Amino acid sequence: MGNYRFILSGGGTGGHIYPAIAIANELKRRFPEADFLFVGAKDRMEMEKVPQAGYKIEGLWITGLQRKLTLKNLMFPFKLISSLLKSRKIVSQFKPDVVIGTGGFASGPLLQVASGRAIPCVLQEQNSYAGITNKLLKDKVAKICVAYDGMERFFPVSKIVKTGNPVREDLVNTEVTGPEAKTFFQLDPKKEVVLVLGGSLGARRINELIEKELEYFASKDLQVVWQCGKLYFEQYKNHAKEDVKVFDFLDKMDLAYAAADYIISRSGASSVSELCIVGKPTLFIPSPNVAEDHQTKNAVALVTQNAALMLRETELDERFETVFSDLHQSRDKQEELGANLKNEAMPNATKHIVDEIEKLLGTLDT
């Protein structure tokens, strides 16, 4: 009892990696003697982030299909065969009790092999629009943990469990106050802060917007914490000054959220789940460059609950100042959006997902 073996597979983006790490951490807390192995895609960010979190990882030679005819697409069949063969070897050698897939290309071959050997498999789908890998695996797995209603459009209803998305533990348990967090960022604790989040690599269109609107924010007596991303830091770092802090990456997200009075963000699944827990007035600017436009669908799901605002990239030049000014001038609107967003939070998601894994192990009553 307790010497279980778990494989977790997913990656390509932080939205697939960090939920997998959160699930592994909770499994490790419950089963300290368990063995863990992650499987990701070679040359993607999981090969760095997973070892940093203290877990072993194996890489598969796999990428997704491009939307147009490219050399990468011609290589896809060879990469798929290679990944299936390596997945067979991994499963044979590691002998997992349960395999957990959190989305991304690498989880496809691994869960295909594991399910074919009658090993119980769990999918975790973060988005309101299911990813292609998870849709392909839907009939082969035992349980599918989701964060949104209406997912029976994609998955067998008998397998769906609404758990929410795993989030960083420090966000759920934080006790830091706004003034303390503002002081940490060397900001005036009495003035309001706009937190700008474009993802770990950065969002070009959001960065262009913020650069253009810095004088507007100053005219409103607003301070800015601007995470511009690693790809853009050299380009924008010179905008840093007393009331504008520019970062390539924010390690202390609990402090960043605590410092914020308003948040401007992409609407990837992990960001949305974190922002629901934070519960502050949020303007989503979805990336239009993602599969099935799922970021827009994630944001719309909250906008329809009057829990957030949304602007498409094409609307920013024309409407940003009007929309933000309306929010800035209305304390009632700020409180309403924040409260409604918090109502959408599922802070115990990781525990609920691991409960489902325990049921498959037979250690938890169904």
> Residue ranges for the binding site for UDP-N-acetyl-alpha-D-glucosamine?
13-15, 127, 168, 200, 295
- The DSSP bridge pattern shows strands 35-41 and 143-146 to be unpaired
Strands of the 5-9 sheet, one edge to the other: 57-60, 35-41, 5-9, 98-101, 121-125, 143-146, 160-162
Q: Return the DSSP state at 64.
A: P
Residues 6+ apart with CB under 8 A from 315: none
User: What residues does 226 pair with on adjacent strands?
Assistant: 196, 246
Which residue do the tokens 């609920």 mark?
Answer: 352
How is residue 227 written in tokens?
């995470």
DSSP type of residue 132: H
Q: Say what angle helices 349-361 and 14-30 make with each other, to 10 degrees.
A: 60
Q: What is the DSSP letter of 238?
A: G
**Burial class for 174, CB neighbours closer than 10 Å (0-12, 13-18, 19+):** middle
> Residues at the annotated binding site?
13-15, 127, 168, 200, 295
Distance in angstroms (rounded) separating the CA atoms of residues 215 and 195: 16
224 touches 243 (CB < 8 A): yes
| CA atoms lying within 13 Å on the CB side of residue 68 | 0
Contact 31, 2 (CB under 8 A): yes
